[in-house]
Every structure is written in structure tokens, then in C-alpha cells.
Amino acid sequence: MEKVPTRLNVAPVPPDEIFALNGAFFADTHPQKVSLGVGVYRTDDGKPWPLPAVEKAEKQLAEENDLMRHEYTAIEGDVPFLKIARDLMFGFEGKASEEAAKARIASVQTVAGTGANHLGALFLAHHMKPRNVWLSNPSWANHMTIWELAGVPRKTYPYYHAATRSFDFDGMMSTLENDAEEGDVVLLHACAHNPTGLDPNKEQWIAIADLCERKKLFPFFDSAYQGFASGSLEEDAWAVRYFFDNKPDMEMCVAQSFSKNMGLYGQRTGAFHYITNRSATSIRDVVVNNLCHLIRGEFSMGPRIGCTIVKKIMSSEELTADWHNDLQVMSSRIKSMREALYNELVRLKTPGTWEHIVEQNGMFSYTGLTPKQVYALKDKYHVYLLKSGRASISGLSQKNVAYVALAIDDVVRNVL
């Protein structure tokens, strides 16, 4: 058969490491296999955990049998949901200037946190045209892809100090001070930095905010773990709220996800918030209008079911209290697994220092293991984590943590 030439100019794209690793894990038949790759919450039995508050909300919604439950929403999304998401992120309770503060925020619904990051990148690329976006080194791998597709040149600032396994605050500040230009975007993880689990402290966040204001940089917050990281919605939103409350003449934006904190991974529930400066609130509706233009041409409107669950929970004092308890359950289990792994490594006298495991925060730990050690863990012990050494702590349990520690101890001692 004669070959028909194609008009396409395509080359293979490397597979996504996380999903490829997850596929290899599911194909593995070893009885002691352990998945420390994908960032999803698991119970101590290694099972998914639909949040009890979410299950109650789903039951109530099913009983209500709303005939509109599968209908279209508005292009900007479900408006009551957007108000809930905004208030959860920025925390207006008891503030005298609440209405003036809310007037600064243009909000739209997105296809989860990834969609919020993408929409924000696309909007800024079209309407602000930044020379560069600055990403932490390392960062969530999808940040690089999102900004590449938006056509904005990517640069990185130091974030992880490998020798001490700590946050490289001095390196970050020095690089942004010396190399970032007015109008550049700086992507910041609001809490539970992915992949390192290392966050600035409050004094450092204040210094970062001052630098962004002085150099006229544009902060872009990615908030994927509010409430999940510490168990406190307020604590995990502290950085975002500090920038918003204390730098009213600085514009910024926030990508918000409900995947982790409500366990709505597959429902793709998120929001994007653009914050004007306090003298430019008149453009808020125009910002929403332009965001809707991008949304209409791409996915028309956000998914309905996830945001309906969020509304049901947040409009009920009982369900909200249940959800706060669910956050405590998840964050507490993650912290206990960090301590259990650390204690096992100390008991085994595993070479090196391991305090960083308990000092880090949120779902992930940057373990310090080398790619060769990571491959050895998979090949010899069927323990799966990213080649960077990033481990999803949620994959640990009382049943497997000793096994994982023994495996780490072996590869640290024997694989250089």
C-alpha cells in the first residue's frame, strides 16, 4: 500500500512521569508493592477515602433530586460557588473593608487547579505579556508544561538546598533580586510546596511580598492544599491573605483547587481569582469578561457536580464542621506517617540525616534519594516514587512503613 504523506510535524513527547509510574505500579503483581508516587490521599489500608462530609452532601443532593443538576451553568461558572471559593481563600470574616476588598477580586470557575493554572497563564500571556515566568527549582512538573504552552519564557529561582535538604531562601531572594524584571510573573506555592514539602516561614513570606512589591513583580499563587496541609484553612492561606491584605497596590492571582482538601480529584473543581489593585477595581468585570472569552473558546464552562458538592457542604454548619474534622483526619495521618518513617530510619541507623522528613509539610517529601536509589527501590523492593526522590507520604501506612524504611536503608547503604 502506498504511504500517504502527513501534514503533521510531530515528535514523541516524553510520557508524564507520575501517570507512567502509576501505570507500572498497577501492573506490578508483587504482594508488598508500595505506591509513593501519585499525590492522592489514601487510608491506612491503602484505600481511597471519599470524605464523610462529601458522602453526606452527595446523599442529601440525591434526595433533593434537583431537575437542574445536569444543566449548563454560566460561562464564568456557578456564581454562588465562586463566592464560597473566594471567601474561603481570602478570609473576609470581621474585616471592616470587606466589600471594598471583595471588589478587587475577579473570579471564574475552572477545570480544577490545573485548569486554573492554565487559564491564568493564558490570560496573562494575552493581556499582560510578561517577559518571563519564574518557577521554583524544583516545582510541580506541570507548571513548566502549562507556561510552555502559554508561550511565556520560563526561568527558575533556587528553592531546594540539596546539601541541607532545606528551603533555599537566600538563593531564591538573591536570584529574584538580581535577575527578575519588572512585570515578570513569580509562581509561588501557597503551602505544602510540591515536590519538596518545604514552605517559607511567615517572616520569609513577608520578605518575598516586599520584594515583589518593590521590583513590581506579579505574584501567581498556586493553592492546591488549603486545609489539607496543616488541617487549618487559615494557616494554609496565610501567605495569600498576607499579600492580599498588606499589598493592596500590587496585583496578583490565585489558582485554587478542591481536589485534595475535599477529595474531589476526578470532579475537577477549581477557581481562578485575579486580584486588581485597590485603585483599579473598575476593571474587575472587564477581567471576568475576558476570562470568559477564553473559557468559552476552550471548555465553555466549569463542571457542575463538584462545585455543587462544595456549595452543599459550605452552606451547612453541620457539614462544614464535618469537613473541618475530615481535614484534621487527613493532615494528622500524613504527619503521623512522616514521624513513623523517620522513627524507623533512626531505629535502623540509616546513614545520613532524616529530620527533613518530619520538618517538611503536606503530602510530599523530598527524600534526598538519588535516581539510582529510586530505581533500586522499584526493582528490588517494588516501592514506587519519582526519580527526583519525591515520595507521596499518603502511600505509607502502619502496615508498610517498616518495610519501606528497610528498603530505603538497604539502598542508601548499598547503592551510590
As a whole number of Å, the CA-based R_g of the chain is 22
Catalytic residue among 78, 184, 236, 260: 260
Q: Residue 399 and residue 173: Cα distance in Å, rounded?
A: 42
- What is the β-pairing status of strands 269-275 and 252-257? antiparallel
Q: Residue 223 class from Cβ within 10 Å (0-12 exposed, 13-18 middle, 19+ buried)? A: buried
Q: Which of 78, 199, 222, 322 is catalytic?
A: 222
* Amino acid making up residue 55: E
Half-sphere exposure of residue 46, counting CA atoms within 13 Å on the CB side?
12
Please state the three-class secondary structure of 304-372 as a single string: CHHHHHHHHHHCCHHHHHHHHHHHHHHHHHHHHHHHHHHHHHHHCCCCCCCCHHHHCCCCEEECCCCHH
| Of 140, 147, 205, 354, catalytic | 140
Question: CA angle, corner 239, sides to 235 and 244, nearest 5?
Answer: 120
CB-based contact 78:72 (threshold 8 Å): no
**What is the distance between the alpha carbons of residues 346 and 338, in angstroms, rounded to a whole number?**
12
Which residues in 38-132 belong to E strands, given as ranges?
105-111
Based on the residue annotation, tell me whether 140 is a catalytic residue of this protein.
yes
Q: How far apart are CA 126 and CA 395, in angstroms?
A: 40
Closest CA to 154 of 174, 172, 170, 130: 130
Q: What is d(CA 374, CA 387) in angstroms, rounded to the nearest whole number?
A: 6
- For every residue of 246-298, DSSP letters joined together read H-TTS-EEEEEE-TTTS--GGGTEEEEEEE--TT-GGGHHHHHHHHHHHHHHH
Q: Mark whether 326 is an active-site residue.
A: no
- C-alpha closest to that of 48 among 309, 323, 264: 264
Active site residue 285: no
337 vs 159: CA distance, rounded Å:
25
C-alpha span between 416 and 413 (Å, rounded): 8
| 191 contacts 171 by C-beta, under 8 angstroms | no
Enumerate long-range contacts of 293-300, CB under 8 Å, 24 or more apart.
Answer: 294/119, 294/122, 294/123, 294/126, 295/75, 295/76, 295/108, 295/119, 296/75, 298/119, 299/111, 299/115, 300/72, 300/75
Show which residues are catalytic.
140, 222, 260
